[in-house]
Structure 1
Amino acid sequence: MKSLLGGLVAAACLTLASQAAAQTVTYYVQSAPYDSVSNYTGCPLGGCTATYTTSQRVSGSFTIFGALTPNMVDEIVDVRLGDLNLSDGQNTFQTDFLNWSIVSQTAQISTDASGNLTYFEFKFDKMHGSPATFGNAADPKSYVTSIYLGNTAGGSYAYVQSNSLCTSRGDNTGGNTYGLGCATQTSIPAQGASQASASAVTISLTPPPPPTVPTMSEWAMILLGALLAGGAALHLQRRRQTA
């Protein structure tokens, strides 16, 4: 059971009219594997599909209109999201979904001389139907699935919640409040909620390297070849004996 203040975590569907005509820039996201997992223990309403494991992580990318300015220091910025393709290992967050929205909030960030993010707080909320409600455990539209990404003074982190109950929302007046996303939410396993966290996450202009595939050493290959040859010879000998 955990209540989170969405106002402390910035979201990603943010607006800035002056960047509308600028070129898009893609940021790549990858967290460490989850080191803490808590899955649902009951499912009174349905939709309790996520079962996180420590082999999963947050990964994917999002695109904004216009590059962030280099050498920014803890600045509140607005960026307009152009594309989104994120996965928490169980749920996919994409811009072509119909019955969901992304929280509209400002983001506080810092960048290095190349425009890479060095400090950031983002929050993505996936809605469970429209119009969204809140605080009603019997209404599927009061539930939300979220991805938090942050790199603050205490270090970077990723935190995901699936099917958590939203207890308050905002009206998005002027684009700087909580919108249809969730300002506070609770993740109670008995209500069908699951959650997981990772102790590190990177948001970079450079795609992460593909996972390495273990290969056998030359001696292992030689040994495997000898075993296969020996097995084939034994099989032929048995066939001759039974012929």
Structure 2
Amino acid sequence: MYRTILTAFAALIVVAFAAAANAQTVTVQQTQTGSTASILDGFQTRGEALLVPNGVTRLQQFTVRLAGNVTPVVRAYDNTTKVMGAVLHTGAPRSGAAADVVTVIPAGGVAVTPGSYIFIGATQNAAGQSGTIELRAGNPYQDGEAVDLRNGADAQLTGYDAYFFATFGPEATPVPTLSEWAMILFGLTLAGGAALYIQRRRLTA
């Protein structure tokens, strides 16, 4: 009886940790810097159009290098027509003249489609405010490019990429925590112990 319970316990632990191990992530990045592009009236939104890797369904976090009064943002992007789509996530507005690496972790991640494109970057906090985003000439990231929104019309910054990190992963799958497993196994242990005790009492009667 106890051997059966211990075997079940070991199997459940293996399942729990295997599920966690299978939650793989994919990070694409362009870490070189070299110049900045202004974000201000007339150039409201600037950043990077990038390819969503195969096998992932969530943008788990992203990083850009910003300065000034701007807000990190994720948008849909049509790489065929080169047009930004709907806003998928907006980070916390920031301020300050000094350039800083800003990492945004959307709660639950942002739903994305493998093989499609998205835009990550920043937009003005409000009309009349300004800031910058860090770029690099030479197009070091081959699966995308820097783009901007100029007076409501999209444009490509040919030969440039934004500084960025983007981490993708699968959709979160609810897995019982070890505390939940412990409660289940504790109940099984008690039931098994009681059954064993009753069986021994009958044999000695």
What TM-score comes out, normalization by structure 1 length? 0.27
Q: Which of structures 1 and 2 has the larger relative contact order (alpha carbons within 8 angstroms, sep 6+)?
A: 2
Name the structure where helix makes up a greater proportion of residues.
Answer: 2
Name the structure where strand makes up a greater proportion of residues.
Answer: 2
What TM-score comes out, normalization by structure 2 length? 0.30
